[in-house]
Amino acid sequence: MLDLSAVLNTFHRCHIAVVGDLMLDEYLWGHIERISPEAPVPILNVIRRSSTLGGAGNVVENLRTLGVAVTTFGVVGRDDTGQQVCELLRAHGADVAGVICDPQRKSTRKARLMSMEHGQQVFRLDEESTFTLDNHVEENMIGMIRGMNNGIQAIVCSDYLKGVLSDRVLESTFAVARKRGIRSIVAPKDISPEKYRGAHILMPNARELLQLSGKKPNGDAVSKESLANAAGGLIEKLSLEALIVTRGSEGMSLFENSERGLRRIDIPTTARSVYDVTGAGDTAIAAFAAAVASGSDLETGAHLANVTAGIKVGKRGTASVSLDEIRQSLKT
């Protein structure tokens, strides 16, 4: 394993493509002082609101915070939400030339109503389209992916089942990665493993891994044996290079396909406190992809992802983690 601090110093030379479902996370903060006379529900008097990137956009933001150059591929609707998503991507310095505007779609927006008294979410409103891209938009997306910058060193596919990562889009993305000799890293949400055939690395949580393996999760706890069986079976079935499983309070596990068989490394969590796990997977895959793009081995990337995710869960919402925060965490 390489020195993690030294790896951080190489991120400014890295360039990663992010392909996936772009979203807008909106937070409306207010006070709850009375119950509505119209129905037995609380009234939230909104004081302030803020918007951040969600989904694949959160991966982009995390990569940009780490100093990595990013080219974004995705689809938004011709609406205010889509415009906000593109403006936020540009504000973070991401290349949005690969973002298609589809007037037939509604951009994904998740509005969270937050109580200032309780410091927690009381309601969520979702607006989105989840149908698969039509043929014309899909062909445009595939064409842009095939023509992506030759300097890109890794591809992250962020799947939130909103219809952008169709079978053909993923197949074309994996083909481009293999042709160019770079890794494709996927955050999977679908329960169909065949959708991800051709990828180099999958990064699911423990529950998603079991679902991909055709096993029904039994509560939140997953035994080490079940985890190993599911990971080994999926690596063999899809001919994967590796699987990284995020395991919440138990940290992460790296399963790597080696000449000596399945290599497993368990990494305990570094989180000192868990405040909000929202977006932790996006933060982890961004840090791992940045390490991979820099030329680091997978074990180094997994350790760095674990440290970064441990910092993120101590923050509220889809917050990103800075290089200075990672350096400070490594010192302590």
Residues marked as catalytic: 282
DSSP state of 316: S
Q: Which amino acid is at 184?
A: S
How far apart CA 242 and CA 255 sit, in angstroms, is 6
Stretch (H or E) spanning 120: strand 120-127
Give the other-Cβ count within 10 Å of 197's Cβ.
15
DSSP state of 46: E
Give the other-Cβ count within 10 Å of 46's Cβ.
11
Stretch (H or E) spanning 96: strand 95-102
Measured CA distances, 182 to 20, 242, 289 (Å) = 18, 14, 11
